[in-house]
A and B are shown apart, each in its own frame.
Chain A
Amino acid sequence: MADFEIRDLRASVEGKEILKGVTLAINKGEVHAVMGPNGSGKSTLSYALMGHPGYTIDGGQVLFKGQDILSLEPDQRARLGIFLAFQYPVVVPGISMTNFLRTAINAKRGYDGKDKSKQISPKEFRSLLKGELEVLHMDDSFLPRYINDGFSGGEKKRAEILQMAMLKPEIAILDETDSGLDIDSIKFVAAAVNRMRGPELGALIITHYTRILEFIKPDFVHVLVDGRFVLSGGPEVADRLEKTGYSEWMEADEPAVLAKEEVS
């Protein structure tokens, strides 16, 4: 059995069926890419895996560490070692990024406001944060700012990657982390993921475009169309999509070539 198994997952939003039976096995050490056109269910997959309350699970299982995580709250899933890098990171005014990161680290360590021995010491936290910022070549100017408040698109995605680096998940889901990013930011994200890549991390990279896969070479690529995987294979699947797009699975009105998105 794989480290992280999605079995026949079906999910809907406001009564509309989106995921129609998705099955996928991820082992630590592997990088999987899920590609698909708009509306294929990519974001639903990432939200359903993390437990967003707006998505109804209609069937299936997601097995991780010996349990079906579908019955768990998002925070419980996170503490088990699952991380979702958001396509649209949420603004939370009045809370600094530093405070947020510290609270998240403490939550992961099982500190619930009572047992102070589980709390990360200020010194340890600072050195962890400083280390990750250095590795990621990030400056600390956004740390006193409120969570994602007034961040540019690139800053938001960098902040997501920093959170991931700090929390060291075992399964990381990157939901269209490349969308809307300029090439430098995409390279930044890719370099960071490549650095974390290794036997302790299984990654699921959800993307519309093949471009990020030029920088993060996936071990497996799965094509999601209309809530189902229509094709799975090695990196060559991405090359094929680069040339033909999703047209062979789509109605005629979907643009065929996907790699030439506008750069923001």
Chain B
Amino acid sequence: MATQPKPVDVGSDYKEKYGFFVPEDYVFKAKRGLNPDIVKEISFMKGEPEWMTKFRLRSLEIFRKKPMPTWGADLSVIDFENIFYYLKASDKQSKSWEELPADIKATYDRLGVPEAERKFLAGVSAQYESEVVYHSLQKELSAKGVIFLDTDSALREHPDLFKEYFGTVIPPADNKFSALNSAVWSGGSFIYVPKGVRVDIPLQAYFRINAENMGQFERTLIICDEGSFVHYIEGCTAPIYTTDSLHSAVVEIIVKKNARCRYTTIQNWSTNVFNLVTKRAMAYADATMEWVDGNLGSQITMKYPSVYLMEPGAKGDVLSIAFAGKGQHQDAGGKMIHVAPNTTSTITSKSISKAGGRTSYRGHIKVYPGANNSKSFVKCDALLLDENSRSDTYPYNDVDADNVTLGHEATVSKVSDEQLFYLMSRGITRSEAETMIVNGFIEPFTKELPLEYAVELNRLIQLEMEGSVG
């Protein structure tokens, strides 16, 4: 055991000021496995209202009844009884820097991740010291009436607002993993943007990152009131190391009339993780919801951000990339549910498979009766870097309305010898030329990212291509 990271001196008004939850002195012994007692204990630990405890218990029942999904990646190896469902931050710091796998350390080095930050990402430190930035940001936001808290704090501080929306977009019974999350959720972000307010800078989970927040079962809820705008960014390109093998988040978003929300994810879990995430937004009249979703790392990812287009003029976009290396399966895509007429959606999916990795595009376009004059366009491009890698496309379309325009385009390509030869004929090495081609392939995605993320992502692709990432 290495020395404990030095706690940040935050003062007694910490909770009020920053919205972090500092657990009371309470002896909680983390146990593996899942049963009603553990769920009750989690809820009690957090001091939750009774409705939430009941919600969790009901969700647990649903989780137990639902069969394991078999239509996607192979999940049969997950052992639900061998997982810690709730850990206090102090329990999470049981690892030491020395125990980290060498490849993770090497990646931090090569990405140039600062010392304090990498300890946090590696789970060695519970807190990343960014309070100063967070503090000034919070002042600016609260002046506009924007709420940006971790989800646990939001439940305590804004119980009515919270209860009005929580679980309305993704009910526990939606799928087995949303039920699991609903039973044991902890951390995540809560954002409320009032009517007509535009948040100019992207809100990043990063600013108020702590161990709770980056948990396995985080729960995020974003409400964009009428005419508002927010861009939320979660994750980072540096690999997040965890010995916990299951990450199952739920993200719910409500985008009201004329509002716009963009949700950007860059995830790079260590390759032992099952990443099974449910993300869904409801978009109302003339509202726009954009999912920008980058999936690197993990052993298996199953993630299909979706938008329910509830009222006329609503618009949904999914732009996603997935990179699958050796032993990885990225099963990703998107869902667009057209409920109202004159709604539009696009899904653009780009995947890269290398060294035997497997990517799947799985998408669903549903147009309900009456959702006439709706338009949807799906484009999925797969790039295979060698003969052993694999890519599949599973598009599902159900159209029950009139005058609907539905487009689907899919390509599978290999890194072409001609492109490689051309770049190499200018003195560029084979590995650098391959990296350029891959970065060029995902450029439609990269250009949507804030610059620092784009640069990091390109750098990370370079490391992946060199085979120096775990």
Residues of chain A at the chain B interface (Cβ within 8 Å): 50-54, 73-75, 77-79, 83-84, 86, 89-95, 99-100, 103-104, 107-108, 112-113, 146-147, 163, 167
Contact = CB atoms under 8 A, between A and B. Distances in A.
A79 B423 CA distance: 12
22 contacts: A51-B425, A53-B417, A74-B425, A75-B425, A75-B426, A77-B425, A78-B427, A89-B422, A90-B419, A90-B422, A91-B419, A93-B440, A94-B440, A94-B441, A94-B443, A95-B439, A100-B426, A103-B436, A107-B426, A107-B427, A107-B429, A108-B427
Interface residues of B, number: 25
Contact of A74 (B421, B440, B444, B462): B421
B52 to A, nearest CB: 46
B387 interface: no
Summarize B's interface: helix, strand, loop or mixed: helix
Given A74-B421, A107-B432, A113-B462, A93 B443 contact: yes
B435 to A, nearest CB: 9
Contact of A75 (B416, B428, B440, B442): B428
A93 B441 contact: yes
Contacts of B432: 103, 107, 112-113
The 10 tightest CB contacts between A and B, nearest first, are A94-B440, A94-B443, A78-B427, A90-B422, A107-B427, A104-B426, A74-B424, A75-B424, A95-B440, A79-B427
Nearest to B416: A90
A92 B440 contact: yes
Contacts of B444: 94
Nearest to A109: B427
B387 to A, nearest CB: 15
Contacts, number: 85
A104 B425 CA distance: 9
Interface string B280-302: 00000000000000000000000
Nearest to B442: A94
Contacts of B462: 113
B440 to A, nearest CB: 3
Which of A74, A78, A163 has the largest count of B CB atoms less than 10 A from its CB?
Answer: A74
B437 interface: yes
A112 B440 CA distance: 19
A73 B433 CA distance: 13
B417 A54 contact: yes
A108 B416 CA distance: 23
B418 interface: yes
A78 B418 contact: no
B434 to A, nearest CB: 11
Contact of A167 (B424, B427, B440, B441): B427
Contacts of A103: 426, 428, 432, 436
B430 interface: yes
